[in-house]
A and B are shown apart, each in its own frame.
Chain A
Amino acid sequence: MSAAWLPRLNGGASRRIFVLLALLLAVLLAAPWIVNDYLLTVLIVILYSAFTGQAWNIMMGFAGQLSLGHALYAGLGAYMAAVLFVDFGIGPWIGFLAAVPVAAACGAVIGFLAFRFGVAGVYFAILTIAFAEFVRIGFDHIAAVNASAGLFLPVRQVAHNDVWHLRGDPAMFYYVILAATVVAFILCRLLLESRLGYFWRAIREDEEAARAAGVPTFRCKMYAVMISAALTSFAGVFYAFFYNNLFPEQVFNIGRSIEMILGPVIGGTGTLFGPILGAFVLTGLAETLNSIMGAFGLGMPGATQVFYGVCLLVVIVVLPEGVWPPLARRLGLTKEWP
């Protein structure tokens, strides 16, 4: 069993990739000892964005299905874990296990309706927004989760980090989201190099041609939505325990969905490094900009969003593939175009 997936993990990748990955991981592992609390929080936001970007990328980057409502799955994960914790004292990891089938089932419903009845392209994207909005408005009225007043997780002071209950200092949260990002990266790599991964890419490139080549497109697209939704739900669990408060207006907001897709779009959809690079570039630059503006007393609300817009515009015009593919070619990391 282990022998079967190992070549999938490292096969075809150049030595430089591994050196690059090892260096990146070493720097990220050492970060909590080097940076201050503010920068550590920024890094947590970056890795959170890299993780959600990676999860979203399964649907859009791999299988070509544009979701603009991924906040739905993160929100479901967040509420699931939070409710279990607040009302039943059940820890976040069990909460995550409970959130996975809920998010996957929700993705399956959307996927089934869309793929069974031929809702594709922009109409599919609109459907994903619609569902996220339904659920946001629904949660605003569910008394059991405190409706629009918001759900608050009890914050207790702990003497030492409690990973099992996700209670601790920022460094603990940092390592948890780092581990999740690494797991998501490896999972995506394995998926991309699997039979399903090839079928997804065929669907992304030309769905009709894929069907003609025997690809069971309906089933493959269902897997893409469900896996992507399940993975995204973990981000929600993390969000709930990191911020300790949940408002439907915030977690299910379409803005959250858009933020999730900016990283991979800027880094390069369909690539494994794109979501990570995109998260670093986008959040890194936005935070730098905020600090500079703050230092000059120019801080104003909405500046980050404007900056995101400008970034997106520049990348679409200058680097339509995203930042990573041309960078990878420059660094000699791809074997294509001999």
Chain B
Amino acid sequence: MTALLSLQQLSKRFRGLVAVDGVSFEVQQGEIFAVIGANGAGKTTLFNMIAGALKPDHGSIVFDGKPIQDLSPDVVCRRGIARTFQLVRPFPALSVEDNVVVGALLHRHGVGEARARAQALLRRFDLFDRRHHPASALTLPDRKRLEVVRALATEPKLLLLDEVVAGLRPTEVDRLVAVLRELNRDSGLTILMIEHVMRAVMALAGRVLVLDHGVAIAAGTPDQVVRDPAVVQSYLGAEAV
């Protein structure tokens, strides 16, 4: 097994607040890896550093054998890391289809070709019927799926999902989880997810890292970490187990 993504002693400080403090972990090719932790634990900061939106103060991020911590977000995406945003950010006035076309154009030069690719993806994620709607007219679950589709259209090696099932109803969570697992199984897509919804974490993740106040306090399989006393104490709460 080779590590697709490797973080070494990654730190980020905002004025006095240490958001991420010396976090190291590796994501293996083809696995689904989850980062969990309470609000303010530093999960999104960690994500933003991997995606190039924030520069780390210390440490290195190696993706596919090359350091990426100094690259800008568009270059990181070109290298093969696509992300979704915690608060969804589709292009509101563009049609659902055009949103995905933008992503598909990253590695394609023909708009027609990109459109064909976009339509295939929209079919897979049940958004094909709504492809001519402006993205702003979609419901929240649909917009969340659209973000995933747009990210996938860039043909990433690693997909970063930032609380992609938060705010969805349990049946919608299960549907999205099913599609993501299918993608991981069929195309070997590596997924790194931040998640609050333990239902999705337990169903998807092979390994989990727990962050607490910017520090990695536990790592292992979902079953292991939910029984870890430190995790129960800091995050899940005693009554959760």
* B window 75-134: CB within 8 A of A: 77-78, 82-83, 85, 89-95, 98, 101-103, 105-106, 109-112, 114, 132-134
User: Do B111 and A217 have beta carbons less than 8 Å apart?
Assistant: no
Q: How far is the CB of B72 from chain A (nearest CB, A)?
A: 7
Say whether A316 faces chain B, with CB atoms less than 8 Å apart: no
Contacts known (A202-B91, A210-B102, A212-B83); A336 close to B133, Cβ less than 8 A? yes
Say whether B176 faces chain A, with CB atoms less than 8 Å apart: no
Report how far A214 CA is from B91 CA in the complex, Å.
14
A8: B residues at CB distance < 8 A? 111
Say whether B151 faces chain A, with CB atoms less than 8 Å apart: yes
Say whether A37 faces chain B, with CB atoms less than 8 Å apart: no
Say whether A205 faces chain B, with CB atoms less than 8 Å apart: yes
Contacts known (A194-B111, A337-B132); A209 close to B91, Cβ less than 8 A? yes
Say whether A87 faces chain B, with CB atoms less than 8 Å apart: no
B134: A residues at CB distance < 8 A? 336-337
Contacts known (A198-B105, A213-B103); A205 close to B85, Cβ less than 8 A? no
- For this complex, into which size category does the number of interface residues on chain B fall? 35 or more
* A window 318-338: CB within 8 A of B: 335-338
Report which of A194, A214, A338 forms a contact with B106, defined as CB distance below 8 A: A214
Say whether B42 faces chain A, with CB atoms less than 8 Å apart: no
Say whether B161 faces chain A, with CB atoms less than 8 Å apart: no
Report how far A338 CA is from B96 CA in the complex, Å.
13
User: Do A212 and B111 have beta carbons less than 8 Å apart?
Assistant: no
User: Do B89 and A208 have beta carbons less than 8 Å apart?
Assistant: yes
User: Do A213 and B132 have beta carbons less than 8 Å apart?
Assistant: no
Q: Mark B52-63, 1 if CB is under 8 A from A, else 0.
A: 010000000000
Q: How far is the CB of B18 from chain A (nearest CB, A)?
A: 24
User: Do B94 and A213 have beta carbons less than 8 Å apart?
Assistant: no
Main secondary structure of the interface of A (DSSP, over half): helix
Say whether B148 faces chain A, with CB atoms less than 8 Å apart: no
* A window 99-124: CB within 8 A of B: none
User: Do A211 and B102 have beta carbons less than 8 Å apart?
Assistant: no
Say whether A138 faces chain B, with CB atoms less than 8 Å apart: no
* A window 171-202: CB within 8 A of B: 193-195, 198-199, 201-202
User: Do A212 and B94 have beta carbons less than 8 Å apart?
Assistant: no
Q: How far is the CB of A208 from chain B (nearest CB, A)?
A: 7
A216: B residues at CB distance < 8 A? 74
Report which of B94, B111, B154 forms a contact with A214, defined as CB distance below 8 A: B154
Say whether B165 faces chain A, with CB atoms less than 8 Å apart: no
A336: B residues at CB distance < 8 A? 95, 132-134
B91: A residues at CB distance < 8 A? 201-202, 205-206, 209-210
User: Do B74 and A7 have beta carbons less than 8 Å apart?
Assistant: no
Contacts known (A205-B92, A205-B93); A213 close to B111, Cβ less than 8 A? no
User: Do B53 and A208 have beta carbons less than 8 Å apart?
Assistant: yes
User: Do A213 and B150 have beta carbons less than 8 Å apart?
Assistant: yes
Say whether A147 faces chain B, with CB atoms less than 8 Å apart: no
A202, A209, A213, A215 pick with most chain B CB within 10 angstroms:
A213
Report how far A48 CA is from B77 CA in the complex, Å.
42
Say whether B222 faces chain A, with CB atoms less than 8 Å apart: no
B73: A residues at CB distance < 8 A? 208, 211-212
Report which of A195, A212, A335, A337 forms a contact with B105, defined as CB distance below 8 A: A195
Report how far A7 CA is from B111 CA in the complex, Å.
10
Q: How far is the CB of A143 from chain B (nearest CB, A)?
A: 45
B90: A residues at CB distance < 8 A? 206, 209
Q: How far is the CB of B204 from chain A (nearest CB, A)?
A: 22
Q: How far is the CB of B43 from chain A (nearest CB, A)?
A: 17
Say whether B51 faces chain A, with CB atoms less than 8 Å apart: yes
Contacts known (A201-B94, A336-B95, A338-B132); A215 close to B85, Cβ less than 8 A? no
Report how far A234 CA is from B207 CA in the complex, Å.
61
Q: How far is the CB of B112 from chain A (nearest CB, A)?
A: 7
Q: How far is the CB of B10 from chain A (nearest CB, A)?
A: 19
Report how far A335 CA is from B73 CA in the complex, Å.
33
Report how far A210 CA is from B72 CA in the complex, Å.
12
User: Do B132 and A198 have beta carbons less than 8 Å apart?
Assistant: no
Report how far A214 CA is from B154 CA in the complex, Å.
7
User: Do A205 and B74 have beta carbons less than 8 Å apart?
Assistant: no
B95: A residues at CB distance < 8 A? 336
B74: A residues at CB distance < 8 A? 211-212, 214-217
User: Do A195 and B72 have beta carbons less than 8 Å apart?
Assistant: no
Closest residue to A193 on the B side, CB-wise? B111
Closest residue to A336 on the B side, CB-wise? B132
Report how far A338 CA is from B112 CA in the complex, Å.
22
Contacts known (A335-B132, A336-B132); A213 close to B53, Cβ less than 8 A? no
B85: A residues at CB distance < 8 A? 209, 212
Q: How far is the CB of B81 from chain A (nearest CB, A)?
A: 9
Report how far A132 CA is from B77 CA in the complex, Å.
37
Given contact pairs A7-B112, A212-B82, A337-B133, a sample of 13 additional A-B residue pairs in the complex whose CB atoms are under 8 Å apart:
A199-B105, A205-B92, A208-B53, A209-B85, A211-B74, A211-B77, A212-B53, A212-B85, A212-B151, A213-B151, A214-B78, A215-B74, A337-B134
10 A-B pairs with C-beta separation under 8 A: A195-B110, A195-B114, A201-B98, A209-B85, A211-B73, A211-B77, A212-B85, A215-B74, A216-B74, A335-B132
